[in-house]
Amino acid sequence: LLDDIASLGAARSGKTSLVSRFLGGKFYDSYTPTIENFHRKIYKIRGETYQLDILDTSGNHPFPAMRRLSFLTGELFVIVFSLDSRGSFDEAKKLRKEIIETKQNASNAKSGGSQKGKKCKPPIPMVFAGNKCDKEMRTVSADEVQMYCNSQGSYCTFVETSAKKNYQVDEVFYQLFAIATLPTEMAPNHQKRIIELTSIML
């Protein structure tokens, strides 16, 4: 069983650090802009094999075609923003809208336009990851984000996290797997057995 996760968000929001923590890696204080990184994890859970492909995207949008492709190929989305950056939260909301519109347009094209005006189905599991919750100064409140996610339906949820402190990184992916009805054992603190782990950098 194959599932594709795309990690998206504004530059400097902590997307790469969050993915690195999930994969069991270290946190680096220095900032290096990401072009696009690809990671793969393979699990054996209750007799089933699951392949999880994670695409860590650029926040600078240097290649629009690559960005659109990540919208189309992603099945689950982690949308990362920084709780100390209002602009990054605005970008996160914009990303959600663009993902839905891109998938809907692709669906319309495939069906010859007969689905125009209808909602994109099946629902798209998304977690809004409010990173840098360890920062004292915030410009985005948890209540505001929670209200927004609640207004988007049951396939959109919010988790406060800190990649730097390794706080609730596991919860981000646990919630993503839960709303996508995937085995939550794939989250680091719930893993039973990992058959293989590979990391490919593009």
> Is 1 in a helix, a strand, or coil?
coil
Do 15 and 57 form a contact (C-beta atoms < 8 A)?
Answer: yes
The model's pTM is 0.85
Mutual angle of helices 64-73 and 86-110, in 10-degree steps: 70
Say how far apart CA 149 and CA 158 lie, in whole Å: 7
Q: Where do the structural domains in the chain lie, given as residue ranges?
A: 2-201
Read off the pLDDT of residues 103-160 as tens digits, 9 standing for 90 and up.
Answer: 999 988 877 765 555 555 568 999 999 999 999 999 999 999 999 999 999 999 999 9
- Which pLDDT band holds residue 202 (cuts at 50, 70, 90)? very low
Burial class (CB in 10 A: 0-12, 13-18, 19+), 113: exposed
Do 30 and 105 form a contact (C-beta atoms < 8 A)?
Answer: no
Read off the pLDDT of residues 54-65 as tens digits, 9 standing for 90 and up.
Answer: 998 877 766 678
Do 27 and 21 form a contact (C-beta atoms < 8 A)?
Answer: yes
> 2-201, superfamily in CATH?
P-loop containing nucleotide triphosphate hydrolases (3.40.50.300)
